[in-house]
Amino acid sequence: MHFGTPKFVYIIADGRWAQCSGDTAHKRAIEVLFLYAQTNYITQISTRGDIINFLKRATSHTLHIVYNEASKNIELRGMGTTLTVATIIKSKMYCAHVGDSRIYFLSEKNIKQITTDHSIVRNV
């Protein structure tokens, strides 16, 4: 069974605080995730789990690279970014999300936040 193939991967990365190289962090996250998707994408997705695992691995890999680069370069120390990745297969959206950049579902009658913020502010 062929589950489907996404035509697009949508990425939102919002670097935190310019003084902590947020502008570098979000650009780097998009570059890393894009490269990861190009080199690791499964062309034959057989199950819903395949796409979910791909998005989890892509997100984890991207944030790991950004964190390591920040740890190794004193000028980038403290840089970070939110990361939200989504794709649509057969009219269903699949997403992975870290941070407080949100995804909303819009319909004719309402708007519903479908991601949960991962932030200190949310926990206060």
Give the whole-angstrom CA distance, residue 115 versus residue 29. Answer: 19
In a domain, 4, yes or no: no
CATH code where residue 45 lies: 3.60.40.10
Q: Please give the model's pTM, rounded to 2 decimal places.
A: 0.80
Mean of pLDDT over the chain: 83
Q: Is 104 exposed, middle or buried (0-12, 13-18, 19+ CB in 10 A)?
A: exposed
- Within a domain: 90: yes
Give me the domain span that covers residue 78: 9-123
Would residue 81 count as lying in a domain?
yes
Average pLDDT over residues 71-91: 86
Q: Are 96 and 57 in contact (CB under 8 A)?
A: no
Q: What is the pLDDT of residues 5-62, one digit of tens each?
A: 667 788 888 887 655 666 788 899 999 998 988 887 766 667 888 888 889 999 999 9
**How far is CA 121 from each of CA 5, 13, 100, 117, rounded to the nearest angstrom?**
37, 18, 9, 9
Domain count, the chain: 1
- Is residue 20 in a domain? yes
User: Does residue 2 lie in a domain region?
Assistant: no
Look at residue 109 and tell me if it is in a domain: yes
Structure tokens belonging to residue 18: 């310019």
